[in-house]
Amino acid sequence: MNKFLIAVTAGLLATSALAEGHGAGVTEEMLANDTASTGDVLTNGMGRHLQRHSPLEILNKDNVKNLVPAWAFSLGGEKQRGQETQPLVHDGIMYITGSYSRLYAIDVKTGEEIWQYDARLPEGILPCCDVVNRGAAIYGENIYFGTLDARIVALNAKTGDTVWNKKIADYKAGYSYTAAPLIVNGLIVTGNSGGEFGIVGSVQARDAETGDLVWERPVIEGHMGMLNGEESTMTGTLNATWPGDMWKTGGGATWLGGSYDADTDTLVFGTGNPAPWNSHLRNAGTPVEGNAGDNLYAASRLGIDPATGEIKWHFQTTPREGWDYDGVNEVVAYTDRDGNKRFATADRNGFFYVLNREDGAFVSAVPFVKDITWADGIDDTGRPIFNEPNRPGDPSAAADGKKGEVVFSSPSFLGGKNWMPMAHSPTTGLFYVPSNEWGMDIWNEPITYKKGAAYLGSGFTIKPNYEDHIGSLKAIDPDSGEIKWEYKNDAPLWAGVMTTAGGLVFTGTPEGKFIAFDDETGEVLWSFQTGSGIVGQPITWEQDGEQYVTVISGWGGAVPLWGGEVAKKVNYLNQGGMLWTFRLPEQLASK
């Protein structure tokens, strides 16, 4: 579509929306009310608590079998890599991001493109785990998203014109950005990616109107924070849990973004693996007194003051981390059956944690995958009970000094659960967790930091744990830790999950199936073949009295790039790039 037609189309849409009493910018109140407001989807997670639950029940267990496509939209071109976006819907327009840092505005009634923005990516970008983007944010008159060269861009939501474009970090040092931004009280809050390159994870908050940096909080101890253009406070205490100068390249990327708990006015961000992977270089390979080798605040969840960037609390899921068990997985705010305000998170390390929402204190933890080897359990304080022989060996102790002892560890470094978001149903009280049953041969190697180069100090080969499945969607009771039902899938699960008040659970598979399950029994009630692997995030909304469901299809992500034997098992899967929207047939919609 040429620029003249884009402008005319956008103008007509804006005029039509205003005539219907719409067209006002998105407000903080609208973001806070996103879950209950079923006519749009304004936040990543369908609510900043990240429950990914809709109160809509037009679609239900009885009629979902009749769901059919309403329209489809192709991302087109040759950029067919992994499509991990979660769509947003507002004022008659759907917004999706695509691989290689693209953003599209689409008419929700027809599926026709209104405008498209392609970031001008420089040569030399260093994306770790595919050229993906997980979604945008909307506020005021603007739509925001991040780019693979570690920038954050604000566009006019109606026209796609650039409002501002700001640098998050130096892409030449290995930084990138793939998460959906988070907006709270007029601030656009971002993390960063690049943990495999010895970067330093941080959280930044900008004025949404201007893009000006308000505060920054590095998440590795020893680094100074910033507030209103001046140094604020140091993160942690210098060298308390890091030896020497290792903290300067300590990793901890905040690459999945965060959530917001309105009840406690707290941002919650997860942090990635410490760098390098070789834990012996970080004095984490040997048990020490206290927490001297924990390498804070890597592999942790942090509660952050949204006004100042100060850390309120932390919970470290994997202290002394040595298997690439990032702590970034989403933290979901919910209320348990006894009325207690809780957080839940299913960690890459294979344990499902419940925390107190007031202070992040440990409540409980249970394994949600079957064969955890690196720890024998979690103690009463929330600290792992390490299985020390399962730590990859120290290369300096090897005869040639080049390769430490190889161990088989489970889960693999891609995790019992990776980035793909789980969902919660307030109706059943359950969490629906996309997990994978796999392990790895892993060993440590010598490594020194070099700017812009991989900083691992480890080698690995991923292997399936079972012949009949890798992926496993599990319904977990957070109060008891009991797994109520399980759906096994041949290939790894890498898509997000959504629940509805109609008793449905939606997710997709790499084999291309978009599936609706009974939320109580796990029975498959409906499926649709999309033509490519699903690694995106479904949404649902109401339009003209009908309930619509949308998901993006397009195989890619980390599994084909890092999956070892698993990658070979699924190398037949086709790439794509297609957005599918579903509804009930018109004659059934009113029944």
- Catalytic (active site) residue 326: no
Distance CA(114)–CA(10), nearest Å, equals 7
Q: Which residue is associated with the tokens 């998901």? A: 551
Q: Confirm if 364 and 353 have CB atoms less than 8 A apart.
A: yes
C-alpha–C-alpha distance, residues 353 and 363, integer Å: 8
Please indicate if the annotation marks 84 as binding a ligand: yes
> Which amino acid belongs to residue 485?
W
Q: Label the pairing between strands 498-500 and 53-54.
A: parallel
> Is 419 annotated to bind ligand?
yes
Question: Hey, is 557 helix, strand or coil?
Answer: coil
**How far is residue 345's CA from residue 284's CA, in Å, rounded to a whole number?**
24
Does residue 426 have a cis bond before it (omega within 30 degrees)? Answer: no
Choosing from 40, 91, 149, 324, the catalytic residue is: 324
Residue 247 identity (one-letter amino acid): W
Angle at the Cα of 475 from the Cα atoms of 474 and 481, rounded to 5 degrees: 100
Residues 6+ apart with CB under 8 A from 91: 17, 22, 23, 40, 157
Q: Which of these, 153, 142, 241, lies nearest to 190 by C-alpha position?
A: 153
Burial of 313: CB neighbours in 10 Å, binned 0-12, 13-18, 19+: middle
Tokens of 116: 């498209």
Provide the strand spans (E) within 196-318.
Answer: 202-207, 213-218, 224-227, 230-234, 258-261, 266-270, 300-304, 311-316
Q: Does the annotation list 134 as a binding residue?
A: yes
**What is the per-residue DSSP string for 72-89?**
EEE--SS--S----B-EE
> Which runs of E-coded beta strand occur in 25-161?
53-54, 68-74, 88-90, 93-98, 102-107, 113-118, 137-139, 142-147, 151-156
Distance CA 402, CA 393 (A): 11
CA–CA gap between residue 24 and residue 371 (Å, rounded)? 52
Residue type, 13: L
Helices (H), 517-575: 558-562, 565-569
Q: Which two tokens stand for residue 390?
A: 């399962």
- Residues making up the annotated binding site for Ca(2+) are 196, 273, 324
- Residues making up the annotated binding site are 84, 134, 178, 196, 273, 324, 418-419
Active site residues: 324
- Residues making up the annotated binding site for pyrroloquinoline quinone are 84, 134, 178, 418-419
